[in-house]
Amino acid sequence: MKNHVPNALTLLNLFCGCIAVVFAVHNHFIAAAVFVFGGIFFDFFDGFAARALKVSSELGLQLDSLADMVTSGLVPGIVMYKLLNLTISKPELTTEEGAWNAFFSGEAIMPSILPIIGFCITLSSAYRLAKFNLDDEQQNYFKGLPTPANALLILSLPLILELQHSDIMNSIILNKGVLIALTIVSTILLNAPIVLFALKFKTWDFKSNATRYIFILLSIVLLIVLKFAAIPCIILLYVIMSMLDVVIKGSY
C-alpha cells in the first residue's frame, strides 16, 4: 500500500496542473496560480514521501517529470502567451460585436505570432525535465533553474497585476520588451550549466544547512515586505546565493 503513496501525490500534482491549465486558458490567473502552488506542494512531498517510506522507483521518477511538465511547464507557457497577447490586444476586439466578427473572420482563431514566443518556456521546461531524468548527479543540487521555481516566477506576474495594483509594476510587466526578455532569460536559466542548491535537508543542523536557512529567512522577509512582487526577487536571490555557495564550498 505504501508503494502507491508517492505516486498518488504525484498524480495530485498532475491534477492540479490540469485544473490550472483550464483556469489559465480562461484568464483566471489567480485560480490558476492557486492550483500551481498546490501542484508544487504535492511535487515537494511526493519525493519526501518516497524517501521517508523508502519506496523510490523509476516509475515514480518518470511520473514526477510528466506531472511537472503540465504544472510547471505548460501552465507558465500559457500565462506568458496570455501576457504577451495583452500587450498587442486590439481595442476593437474587446466589444462583443468585435469579438464575434473576429471569430468568423478567423482573427480570433489564428493567434498573432509574437505571443507564441511564450511557449518557449514550455519547450525549455520539457528539455530540462528530460535531461534531469537522465542525470544521476542531481541528488543534492540542481543544474539549471528547477521548473517549479520558474513556474512561480512566471505566475507571479499576473498576481502582481491583479492583486498589488501598482501602476509602476503594471507598466513594467505589461511592457512587450520586458516580457520577451523575461521569456528568453527563463528559457536560458532552465537549462543553464549553473549549479543551484536544493532545499533538501539531510540533517537539521545550521552549519551544514546555513545557505538554506538564510535563504528561507530572507525569502520570508521579502514576502512580508513586497508580497507577490517578492517572488522574482526570491528567484534572483536563489540564483545568486547558489553561485556564491559554489564559490565558497567549491562544489556540492
241 within some domain: no
Angle at 246 between CA 241 and CA 248, to 5 degrees: 90
Low-confidence ranges of the chain (pLDDT < 70): 89-111, 138-139, 250-252
Question: Residue 163 belongs to a domain with what CATH number?
Answer: 1.20.120
231 within some domain: no
Burial of 234 (0-12, 13-18, 19+ CB in 10 A): buried
* pLDDT value for 251: 61
147 within some domain: yes
10 Å Cβ neighbour count for 40? 23
**C-alpha closest to that of 206 among 195, 193, 198, 215:** 215
C-alpha cell at 87: 500587450
83 within some domain: yes
Instruction: Please give the tally of structural domains in the chain.
Output: 1
232 within some domain: no
Domain extent for 169: 2-197
CA-to-CA distance for 199 and 214, rounded, in angstroms?
12
User: pLDDT tens-digit profile of 92-149?
Assistant: 444 444 444 444 444 445 557 889 999 999 999 999 999 988 887 766 789 999 999 9
10 within some domain: yes
